[in-house]
Copies of this chain bind each other. A is one copy, B any other.
Amino acid sequence: MAKQDRAIRTRRAILEAAAIVFDEKGYRAAKLSDILERAKLTKGALYFHFTSKEALANAVLDAQVSETPVPSPQTYKMQEYVDMGLLFAHLLVSDPLLRASVRLSLEQVPEINRSSPYVEWVERNTRVLTEAKECGELLLHVDPAETARITVGAFGGMNAMVSTITPPLDLEREILTLYRHLLAGIAVPSVLLRLDVRPDRGAQVLAEAVLEPAAVTPGVDIA
């Protein structure tokens, strides 16, 4: 194995170990020693990649968007909008790195950059909704940036509620219900009729997704 490959694998192993520890204990209570033990690494190997717990947490936060595959292109842009959310919900159920990232973005820790996943998700959603609007798939009144904020905020809230309530709710089912609620007020009827919002859509999108992250359009204003 080339040196560079090994470094990438080690970095990923550290991130996954950190994610599991952050997810279990929360940021404050998580210790670097717990992470080292779980990743089976020395302090030196860890510090080669991350200089602090803060840097580790920020890398876990960044992984939320960068590690989520981009759904493949569809005939309707609104299907791409839905697919983005259903795929993320599908991955969240089983991926500890993504779960920890979402968990961290809700913690009251001023030293980590909790806003970056929100900003990136809102940008991705704004982009696809703007394209949908240009294609005539959205109702006249829809403001893509506004709807993107509602989508991202509501998604995060459903995820937080689902894991707080006892017994826990089914995240994929709740997110599907969320999209069904939002779509009726934003998409034109002829597009609504053609959208696939079946329960297994998230799994199907994953099977067809590509792994490169979408090109980032600079300067999309989310406020």
- Which of A25, A115, A222 is the most central at the interface, judged by chain B CB atoms within 10 Å of its CB? A115
Looking across the interface, which residue of chain B has its beta carbon closest to that of A186?
B181
Give the docked Cα–Cα distance between A207 and B105 (Å): 35
* Contact present for B169 and A149 (CB under 8 Å): yes
Give every chain B residue within 8 A of A166 (Cβ-Cβ): 115
Contact of A161 among B147, B153, B161, B182 (CB under 8 A): B153
Give the docked Cα–Cα distance between A222 and B119 (Å): 31
Give the docked Cα–Cα distance between A161 and B184 (Å): 23
In this assembly, does A86 line the interface, its C-beta being within 8 Å of a C-beta of chain B?
no
* Contact present for A160 and B29 (CB under 8 Å): no
* 0/1 string, A103-118, CB within 8 A of B gives 1: 1011111000011001
With known contacts A26-B28, A185-B182, A223-B169, A105–B177 Cβ distance under 8 A: no
With known contacts A29-B28, A108-B26, A185-B183, A149–B164 Cβ distance under 8 A: no
* 0/1 string, A131-154, CB within 8 A of B gives 1: 000000000000000110110111
In this assembly, does A162 line the interface, its C-beta being within 8 Å of a C-beta of chain B?
yes
Task: Identify which of residues 166-199 in chain A touch chain B, using a CB-to-CB cut-off of 8 Å.
Answer: 166-167, 169, 174, 177-178, 180-186
* Contact present for B108 and A108 (CB under 8 Å): no
What's the nearest-Cβ distance from chain B to residue A61, in Å? 11
Contact of A177 among B115, B146, B158, B160 (CB under 8 A): B146
* Contact present for A160 and B106 (CB under 8 Å): yes
The number of chain A residues with a CB under 8 A from chain B is 46
Contact of A185 among B109, B149, B180 (CB under 8 A): B180
* Contact present for B160 and A150 (CB under 8 Å): no
* Contact present for B149 and A161 (CB under 8 Å): yes
In this assembly, does A155 line the interface, its C-beta being within 8 Å of a C-beta of chain B?
yes
Give every chain B residue within 8 A of A160 (Cβ-Cβ): 106, 153, 156-157, 160
Give the docked Cα–Cα distance between A223 and B29 (Å): 32
Show 13 A/B contacts (Cβ-Cβ < 8 Å), sorted by A: A26-B107, A26-B109, A28-B28, A105-B164, A115-B165, A150-B174, A152-B161, A154-B158, A156-B157, A157-B158, A157-B159, A180-B185, A181-B185
